[in-house]
Amino acid sequence: MAHTSIYLNFNGNAEEAFNHYKTVFGAEFSTPLIRMKDIPAQPGMPELSEADKNKVMHVALPILGGTQIMASDMLESFGHKLVEGNNVTISLNPDTKAEADRLYKELSTGITDGVAPHDEFWGYWGTCKDKFGVRWMFNVSNQQ
C-alpha cells in the first residue's frame, strides 16, 4: 500500500538519534537497522573507513498516526555534506514503478538536482529537489 515517510539525514549520529526516538515514541524499528558495511559493492564505490562501515545506511521507525521516519548517516568519504536543507526529505513510496516515474517527472520539472528512479539492490529508487527547494525521494521496494 502506498505511503509517505519523512527521511532524515544525520552527520554520523543517526543510530543515537533513532534509539532516542524509539524511547520517545515507545516504538520499535520497522525494518532492521542497515549499516554502510551491508551495502553490496558497486562499481566506482569508494572504500569505506572502519568508522564509516558502522554508520547507518537505513533505519525506519513508526511514530504517530501511521507516519514513519527514516534516516541515514551522510558520509563525507562519499562526497556528502550535511547542510541545512538536505537533512529532511519527503519519501514517497508508491505502489508501482510507473507511479514513481510519474511523480518524479512532475516534481523534477525544471530542476537539475535529481536522480531519476532506477533499480537498486533494495528496489526502485530516485530523488530530486523541486523548484521550491523541497527534497523528494521515490521508493518502490522489491517486496511490492
3-state helix, strand, coil in the chain (%, to 5): 25, 35, 45
CATH number of 3-141: 3.10.180.10
C-beta of residue 28 within 8 angstroms of C-beta of residue 91: no
| pLDDT per residue of the chain (144 residues) written in tens, 0 to 9 | 888 899 988 888 899 999 989 998 899 999 899 999 998 888 887 888 899 999 999 999 998 778 899 999 988 877 778 776 677 888 888 999 999 999 999 889 888 789 999 999 989 999 998 886 778 899 998 875
Laid out side by side, the sheet with 114-119 consists of 34-35, 56-62, 68-73, 3-10, 88-93, 135-141, 123-129, 114-119
Collapsed DSSP state (helix, strand, coil) of residue 80: coil
pTM here is: 0.71
List the domain boundaries for the chain. 3-141
